Amino acid sequence: MASRAEAPLQRVGGPSALGGGPRRFFDLLWLMSITEFKRVYFGTVLGYLWSLIRPLLLFGVLLFVFTKVFRVGSKTVEHYAVMLLLGIVLFTFFQEATTNAVTSVVAQEGVVRKTQFPRLVIPLSTVITAMLNLALNLVVVLAFVLAFGVSPAWTWFLFPVALAALLVFTAAIGMALSVLYVRFRDVAIIWAVLAQVLLYLTPILYPINAFEEENQTYEHLLMWNPLSVIFTQIRVWVLHEPDAPSVVHAAGGWAGLIPATIIFFGVIAFGAWIFKRDAPRVAEAL
């Protein structure tokens, strides 16, 4: 008989969001994200191209509509096309990550109900998969940015900061949606509609300063949306146009940023709280 190293008895706390130790958590997170990414891109004939074609097609159509039909873009913004493309690619990430996260826990039912699995890995891995996709798309965007004559600037190094904020915000929403969906299946439909609404409530198709003088209030109200703040800041940092409004200006002063800040951290806190609360009992509720 082989004698085993005697391990001490340790109290078991039950299932949780992070259960199983940090090393296992990150191993699993990375492995799950990368395998899903590979599956999508090596599983189809055109692979990666598909994920690029969708935002590019949207970009082409919108560019035509907003510069040739409505003429919103071309007048007020120096680099309207680049702003539009960057916005679409980033929003596509947000939409894809959150939409996939909604059903993720339910879709991984077998794993949740029959293995010891840190619950948080599941929604987070959909966000990471979307992020890998975004990283590839950003390379293409970079080519466009340079082609359209935007010159590189040191503020480009600040772009990851804004990206990180977007990532955290996306992950928090994904976490909340994934456990809410276990109990309320309507969440999927509601979120599909909400995400669509958010696309129009974020300055992507139009610049934030597109409003007439007397409608400035709308501009300030739009800045309640944390995504508006992030996207506006990205425009400042990446495109560095002289007449692009700063975040503070668009919000109508520093005080105007308070609602967005509260919402931003509120959403993160809510996502973390509800996930932590529901994760231990997800397996039995499925």
Partner 1 sequence: MSVDQKIHIPQSVPTAPGPGTPAAIRVRDLHKSFRIPTKRVDSLKERAVHPFASRDYRELNALRGLSFEIRQGEFFGIVGRNGSGKSTLLKLLASIYKADSGSIEIAGRLAPFIELGVGFNHELTARENVVLNGVMMGLTPKEMRNRLDAVIDFAELREFADLKLKNYSSGMLVRLAFAVMMEADADVLLIDEVLAVGDASFQQKCADAFHQMKAQGKTIVLVTHEMGSVESYCHRAMLISDGEIKYLGEPTEAGRRYLKLNFAAETGDSNDEEANQEEEVDSGEGARLTSMRILDVDGNETSTVEMGEPIRVEAEIELLQDAPGLHAGFVLANADDVSMFELSVPIHSADGNNIKGNTVLVTATVANPLAPGRHFFHCGLQSPFGISVYVPKAATFVVFGTHPSAGILAPETDFRVRIPGEEV
Comparing CB distances to partner 1, the nearer of 6 and 243 is 6
Q: In this structure, are residues 103 and 177 in contact, taking their beta carbons and an 8 Å threshold?
A: no
State the burial class of residue 97 (Cβ atoms within 10 Å of its Cβ: 0-12, 13-18, 19+).
buried
Least separation in angstroms between residue 198's CB and partner 1 is 20
Instruction: Kindly determine how many residues on this chain lie close enough to bind partner 1 according to the rule CB under 8 A.
Output: 43
Comparing CB distances to partner 1, the nearer of 108 and 225 is 108
What's the rounded Cα separation, in Å, for the pair 50 and 57? 10
CB atoms within 10 A of CB 178: 32
**Window 178-197: contact mask with partner 1 (x via CB under 8 A):** -----xxxx---x-------
Q: What value does the CA radius of gyration of the chain take, rounded to a whole number of Å?
A: 21
Least separation in angstroms between residue 274's CB and partner 1 is 15
Least separation in angstroms between residue 191's CB and partner 1 is 12
Residues 6+ apart with CB under 8 A from 57: none
By CB under 8 A, name the one of 20, 52, 156, 199 that touches partner 1. Answer: 20
Interhelix angle 22-43/48-64, rounded to 10 degrees, is 70
Comparing CB distances to partner 1, the nearer of 18 and 210 is 18
Comparing CB distances to partner 1, the nearer of 115 and 151 is 115
Residues 6+ apart with CB under 8 A from 59: 84, 85, 88
The per-residue DSSP string of 111-160 comes to: HHHHS---TTHHHHHHHHHHHHHHHHHHHHHHHHHHHTTPPP-GGGGGHH
**Window 197-226: contact mask with partner 1 (x via CB under 8 A):** ------------------------------
Least separation in angstroms between residue 53's CB and partner 1 is 22
Least separation in angstroms between residue 159's CB and partner 1 is 31
Give the range of 4-12, 135-143, 213-221, 227-235 binding partner 1 by CB under 8 A.
Answer: 4-12
Least separation in angstroms between residue 195's CB and partner 1 is 17
By CB under 8 A, name the one of 37, 117, 206, 275 that touches partner 1. Answer: 117
Q: Name residues contacting partner 1, limited to 243-282 (CB under 8 A).
A: 280-281
Least separation in angstroms between residue 103's CB and partner 1 is 14
Q: In this structure, are residues 82 and 150 in contact, taking their beta carbons and an 8 Å threshold?
A: yes
Q: Name residues contacting partner 1, limited to 23-82 (CB under 8 A).
A: 23-24, 27-28, 31-32, 35, 39, 43
Comparing CB distances to partner 1, the nearer of 162 and 283 is 283
What's the rounded Cα separation, in Å, for the pair 83 and 96? 20
What's the rounded Cα separation, in Å, for the pair 29 and 135? 17
Which position has the token pair 């800040």?
Answer: 261
In the complex, which residues of this chain contact partner 1 (CB under 8 A)? 1-4, 6-16, 19-20, 23-24, 27-28, 31-32, 35, 39, 43, 110-117, 183-186, 190, 280-281, 283-284
